[in-house]
């Protein structure tokens, strides 16, 4: 029988099924080859870590919402957002400074400056966190007279700020898993265990008490990271007499500090404005929807986390070929995560909202709109971190400040007419526009393209 007669005699459905099987087999073969490639293992491991972080975050928020009730959870969401911004203020840019300076000084074997940068960062973070924590305690106590809430908030800010710095130090000195694992997973799971125990025992919980519990659990993770950092510091750094380049560090950290404040405002300001313009209950619901939308962006941040450890090292060592390979792998993983994240939101978004409570399911349209914005930001890759870690923090500061201003303008124009949906629309539109501009600047200033767009050049 000729090939032509075989085709004529075959059933159309059989040909379709055969083609589908061939396509699936091809995809599986590609997946196996991708996983077997040792060059992908580093990013793949970090990606799994960030997926676990997203799951831990959803568990923490959903169990907290169930334990607190809608009003107390809304109150917690508003003050958690404010405390998160205040923690960025208190850390004074030391978290990114240690990543940049440690890689730079260790690569050039300037051990004394590496030791000085590490010690200086810890001292500044401790001092600033105590000052800002005390200020927040006094402010909250005067506002409400709730001493438990004020104490919980102040202590949470201090411990959270300290761990924010140690997490970045651990990323540079130890490894990403010690850094992000304890920063994003350990303390949240500890809180979840405590809250479930309280719910089983029918113990009533307030937002202030949740801040105290969270601070204690973050403290456990903080101690673990400090021990790991101490053990991982090279002997040459330990033996060196610390040297300090204070003027240079202040100049660097000042711009990084302002940039990270703008980033924090970009992440949390909407919850504060929703709470102010509507009420804490609406703020709590919006907060949970925005955290869900940010979950797959958090997974995509695994690529950025990987990049902040390796890109500065390769960039300053001028290993251009290796840097290009890592950038391409980062873009591949980002594309996979963004696609899977969108599908996940469409399929399981309502279920995830229900975990917080049946009343939160109505936030699904808001979740979809927010997901568009976070998908765009995730697809951009670690362009913001690359700009800040390669000496272009001033340009990034201007861009992110413009983003915050545009979002706030959108909030005040749209929220009075469309409620929380107005906030979601403002966020999504701003994220898309600013993301495109940040990536164009990253390509122009560094010659690096961390976005998924570089994959199209290979097609």
Provide the pLDDT for residue 180: 86
Instruction: Say if CB 99 and CB 312 are below 8 A apart.
Output: yes
Q: How many CB atoms lie within 10 A of CB 31?
A: 10
Q: Taking the model in full, what pTM does it have?
A: 0.79
Per-residue confidence (pLDDT) for residue 301, from 0 to 100: 66
Question: What gap in Å lies between CA 365 and CA 425, rounded to an integer?
Answer: 11
What is the number of domains present in the chain?
1
Q: Within 13 Å, how many C-alpha atoms sit on residue 432's CB side? A: 10
Residue-level pLDDT at 458: 57
Name the nearest CA neighbour of 63 among 206, 193, 229, 256. 193
Q: For position 23, what pLDDT does the model report?
A: 47
> Using the 8-state DSSP alphabet, how is residue 241 labeled?
P
**Residue 10 within any structural domain of the chain:** no
Residue 35 to residues 30, 283, 419, Cα–Cα distance (Å): 9, 41, 45
Q: Output the CA torsion 157→161→162→168 (10° steps).
A: 160
DSSP 352-381: HHHHH-GGGGGGHHHHHHHHHHHHHHHHT-
> What is the CB neighbour count within 10 angstroms for residue 292?
30
Instruction: For residue 336, tell me if it sits in a domain.
Output: yes
- Domain range for 53 is 38-456
Structural domain contains residue 293: yes
Task: Kindly state whether residue 8 falls inside one of the protein's structural domains.
Answer: no
In a domain, 28, yes or no: no
Whole-number CA gyration radius for the chain: 24
Question: Looking at the domain assignment, is residue 378 inside a domain?
Answer: yes
Alpha-carbon gap, residue 433 to 436, rounded angstroms: 5
Q: How far apart are CA 435 and CA 403, in angstroms?
A: 10
Per-10-residue mean pLDDT, the chain, length 459: 45 52 54 55 70 88 93 94 94 88 88 94 95 94 88 96 94 89 94 96 93 97 96 92 88 82 86 89 90 73 63 66 74 78 87 88 92 84 76 82 89 91 92 88 80 67
Residue 296 lies in a domain: yes
Contact 64, 193 (CB under 8 A): no
The answer to whether residue 15 sits within a structural domain is no
pLDDT for residue 357: 85
Q: What are phi and psi of 174, to 5 degrees?
A: -100, -90
């Amino acid at each position: 029988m000729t090939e032509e007669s075989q085709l004529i005699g075959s059933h159309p459905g059989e040909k379709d099924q055969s083609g589908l099987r061939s396509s699936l087999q091809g995809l599986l073969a590609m997946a196996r080859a991708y996983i077997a490639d040792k060059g992908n293992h580093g990013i793949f491991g970090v990606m799994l870590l960030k997926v676990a972080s997203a799951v831990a975050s959803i568990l923490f928020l959903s169990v907290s919402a169930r334990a607190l009730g809608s009003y107390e959870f809304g109150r917690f969401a508003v003050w958690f957002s404010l405390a998160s911004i205040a923690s960025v203020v208190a850390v004074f840019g030391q978290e990114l400074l240690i990543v940049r300076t440690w890689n730079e000084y260790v690569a050039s074997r300037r051990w004394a400056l590496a030791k000085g940068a590490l010690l200086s960062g810890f001292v500044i973070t401790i001092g600033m966190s105590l000052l800002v924590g005390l200020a927040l305690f006094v402010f909250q106590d005067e506002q409400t007279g709730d001493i438990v809430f004020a104490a919980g908030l102040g202590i949470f800010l201090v411990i959270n700020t300290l761990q924010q710095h140690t997490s970045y130090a651990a990323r540079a000195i130890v490894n990403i898993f010690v850094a992000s694992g304890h920063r994003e997973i350990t303390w949240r799971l500890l809180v979840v265990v405590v809250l479930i125990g309280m719910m089983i025992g029918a113990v009533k919980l307030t937002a202030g008490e949740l801040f105290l519990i969270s601070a204690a659990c973050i403290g456990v993770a903080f101690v673990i990271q400090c021990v790991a950092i101490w053990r991982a510091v090279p002997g040459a750094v330990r033996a060196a007499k610390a040297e300090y380049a204070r003027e240079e560090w202040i100049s660097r950290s000042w711009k990084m500090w302002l940039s990270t404040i703008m980033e924090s405002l970009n992440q949390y300001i909407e919850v504060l404005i929703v709470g102010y313009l509507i009420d804490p209950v609406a703020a709590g619901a919006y907060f949970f929807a925005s955290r869900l939308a940010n979950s797959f962006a958090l997974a995509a941040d695994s690529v950025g986390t990987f990049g902040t450890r390796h890109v500065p090292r390769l960039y300053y060592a001028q290993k251009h070929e290796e840097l290009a390979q890592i950038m391409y792998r980062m873009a591949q993983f980002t594309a996979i995560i963004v696609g899977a994240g969108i599908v996940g939101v469409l399929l399981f978004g309502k279920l995830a909202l229900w975990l917080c409570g049946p009343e939160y399911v109505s936030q699904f349209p808001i979740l979809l709109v927010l997901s568009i914005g976070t998908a765009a930001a995730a697809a951009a890759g670690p362009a913001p971190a690359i700009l800040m870690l390669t000496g272009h923090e001033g340009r990034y500061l201007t861009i992110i400040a413009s983003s915050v201003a545009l979002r706030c303008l959108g909030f005040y124009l749209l929220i009075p007419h469309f409620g929380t949906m107005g906030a979601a629309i403002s966020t999504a539109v701003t994220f898309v526009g600013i993301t495109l501009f940040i990536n164009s600047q990253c390509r122009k200033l560094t010659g690096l393209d961390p976005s998924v767009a570089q994959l199209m050049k290979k097609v």
